[in-house]
Amino acid sequence: MQLVRDVQDLLAESPDVSGIIALTPFRTFPEMAGALFASLTRNAAIGQTVTSAYGAEKTLVETTCYDIAETARRNFEPGGPPATLLFSRGVHAVMAHRVAHKLWTDGNLNLALAIKAACGRTFGTDMHPAARIGAGLWLDHGLGFVVGETSVIEEDVSIWHNVTLGSTLNDDGPFRHPHVGRGAVIGAGAILLGGIKIGAGANIGAGAIVIGDVPDRGLVVGQKAQNRGTARISFTKPEHTS
């Protein structure tokens, strides 16, 4: 895989970086992911769990590679995908969630919660393993990201730090948390509560408190968030029509 070779080259060309990151030798993406998490968390058992999860499911590798590529593209990351994988806290947090979610859906609930708790302490996030997250999530910075159990995040969403996808405590059942549509952009510190729907391509301003549905490509700002017309920001690639 090209990403694995690129990471190996980056570390070979930068001995000081290699000394800080301190990865054990790897040949495949699952081995690389496990070595990275063992280093980041200082826990070999977590590294082994990450290696096993990625080794067992090819689509998990493909999804994470897309997360990495999109984070590098949208964040103008110096060094491209290999540097993004090694240095982006948001990518690490999403990877941890994808592993925990696989364990959760496999029925290994305690191990899923253990990965969530341990990696949450390392990366400063709290993401329930049952939450469903589509491919291409750009989690910028990652710190303070809270995601409730029944949350759904569709493909190609961009989210800044200190965002909460929570419940109102007035709802029960399978739709207690927000459903975020494809390509939505959520600014830093926004709080989204309840079983609301955020439309595809919508923009949620920094610090907004959102307790109602937002239409496709809608723009909401403020406390309490108010509809301000058409969305102004998009990180999704334009669709080509023939």
Specify the pLDDT at position 241.
58
Q: Residues 6 or more apart from 18 whose CB is under 8 A from it?
A: 11, 12
Q: Where are the domains of the chain?
A: 1-124, 148-242
Query: Could you tell me how many helices (H) and strands (E) the chain has, helices first?
Result: 8, 15
CATH number of 1-124: 1.10.3130.10
Q: Tell me, what's the pLDDT at 242?
A: 57
pTM score, whole prediction: 0.92
pLDDT at 137: 98
> What are the backbone dihedrals phi and psi of residue 222, each rounded to the nearest 5 degrees, phi first?
90, 175
pLDDT in tens, the chain (242 residues): 999 999 999 999 999 999 999 999 999 999 999 999 999 999 999 999 999 999 999 999 999 999 999 999 999 878 999 999 999 999 999 999 999 999 999 999 999 999 999 999 999 999 999 999 999 999 999 999 999 999 999 999 999 999 999 998 887 788 999 999 999 999 999 999 999 999 999 999 999 999 999 999 999 998 877 788 888 888 888 776 55
- Could you identify the residue written with the tokens 């947090």? 93
Identify the pLDDT of residue 240: 67
> ∠ CA 127-128-130 to the nearest 5 degrees?
130
CATH of 148-242, one of 2.160.10.10, 2.40.160.10, 1.10.3720.10, 3.40.50.300: 2.160.10.10
How far apart (Å, rounded) are the C-alpha atoms in residues 9 and 71?
20
Closest by CA to 176, choosing from 166, 191, 186, is: 166
